[in-house]
Amino acid sequence: MKRIFIQILFISIIALPLCAEELPSHKDLLSDIDENVVSVLDENGHVVRYDEEGIGPKYLPNTALAQGITGFHSYFSPEVMVEALYILDYPENCDKEAIIDEIYEICHKVSTITGVKYFSRRKKGYAVLFDDVYAIDDVKNHKKIADPFVAEDETETSIFLHMDENALGSDYYRMDLQKLDKSLSIELTNETALRFIFPVVEKNNMIIKLALFPCRDCILIYGYCGVILENDDLVKRLMDPYYSFYRRMTAMETWLYNNLNDSDSLPPLSDPLP
């Protein structure tokens, strides 16, 4: 009997790491990134980089999901690229093992994007960036529907939605979600051309990607926004495209944070320059 007990105990000890693999720290995932960048991230909760030199992504965490963005960037070849890292604290008493499922469900509640704010340089204060956000059946009919439910055993889906954006007007987008074991990919693409009096971005030429990674100490988010502009010279005379698309990416991160924490926090956009 004693021998059987010892055998069961030994098997249990062997199997324990397989059942309860410890999450990495955010610094584990950022071990290949410049220490000064990680220091700014730890101090401010976010760090941003404008790729004005055309170097490509430099803030990618050491994960397969994030590294796949390198290949996408080379293929897409955007004229404007912004990337950022964000740290989100876990909500109180949350189940870290289930946090990806919780955020995946939040992503289906697209109507809650309505009212997300940004810092307006022109107004020198916060203003609503996305208004009148709702799901639609498809990009041809544009029929308004309720926020979609998460299907049983669903790990990926696409949601079409309408958004009235502060500067670029009323347009349609596609949100692609992919839930993996220890990460979540969110991708937002414009399904209609974006205009600011004149064409600014043609269809499918603005891509925002957020890659979320639960860690021991926080939720790490890598953000990427790539854009191919129309009327480049005119756009750059009237607006800073790097700041403009950075604020859109950060607005999406703020939306997730507020839904996860049942809060109304404002995005850190008052001084975003790298």
Per-domain residue ranges for the chain?
34-261
SS3 273: coil
- Choose among 121, 108, 155: nearest CA to 255: 108
Query: Which is higher by pLDDT, 29 or 268?
Result: 29
3-state secondary structure 132-180: EEEEECCCCCCCEECCCCCCCCCCEEEEEEEEEECCCEEEEEEEEEEEC
SS3 41: helix
pTM of the model: 0.88
What confidence category does residue 117 fall into, taking pLDDT thresholds of 50, 70 and 90? Answer: confident
Q: How many residues does the chain have?
A: 274
Query: pLDDT averaged over the chain?
Result: 86
CATH number corresponding to 34-261 = 3.30.530.20
* Residue 237: per-residue pLDDT: 78
What confidence category does residue 269 fall into, taking pLDDT thresholds of 50, 70 and 90? Answer: low
Residues 157-190 have pLDDT tens digits of 999 999 998 888 899 999 999 998 789 999 999 9
What confidence category does residue 273 fall into, taking pLDDT thresholds of 50, 70 and 90? Answer: very low
- pLDDT exceeds cutoff 90 at 28: yes
Residues 30-74 have pLDDT tens digits of 999 999 999 999 999 999 999 999 999 999 999 988 778 999 999
Residues 222-262 have pLDDT tens digits of 999 999 998 877 878 778 889 888 989 999 999 999 999 88
Please report, rounded to a whole number, the percentage of residues in the chain having pLDDT higher than 90: 61
Please give the backbone phi and psi of residue 110, each rounded to the nearest 5 degrees, phi first.
-65, -25
User: Do β-strands 198-201 and 206-214 pair in parallel, antiparallel, or remain unpaired?
Assistant: unpaired
